[in-house]
Amino acid sequence: MQQPGTMSPMSKEMQDCVEACMSCHSVCEETMSSCMQMGGQAQMQIMRALIDCSEMTRMCSDMMMRRSPMSAEMCAMCARACDMCAEACMAMQDDAQMMRCAEACRRCAQTCRAMSGATA
């Protein structure tokens, strides 16, 4: 029997999603740093996508960890932000960091889409 105030363990799917979000957040932050060093006006659109994705993935993982009743909706929004970021990063296919970021975003979007239709 559970103690009052304790939470049930996270499902494997939720754990995977939290990890994917945290990983994506880190890669987006690294990619922003790389982008800033490159400079240039073309990077502004990519930077906006990176910032949105970085913030969304951090918030999404936090909400899942605290079992927020809004986490499924947040996962759906997070998947959209990740898709947009992956697409923005694909504009620079010759940049290894951008491709790493696009891959992390795709993985995160996939796990978030699965969680948005699932119950915790």
Pure H helices in 66-95: 71-89
Distances (CA, A) of 44 to 6, 38, 62, 88, 89: 44, 11, 27, 10, 12
φ, ψ at 11 (rounded to 5°): -70, 160
pLDDT, one tens digit per residue, over 27-47 is 999 999 988 887 766 578 899
Angle among Cα 73, 111, 50 to the nearest 5 degrees reads 80
**pTM (2 decimals)?**
0.86
CA torsion angle 85 90 91 96 (round to 10): 110
Residue 7 has pLDDT above 70, yes or no: no
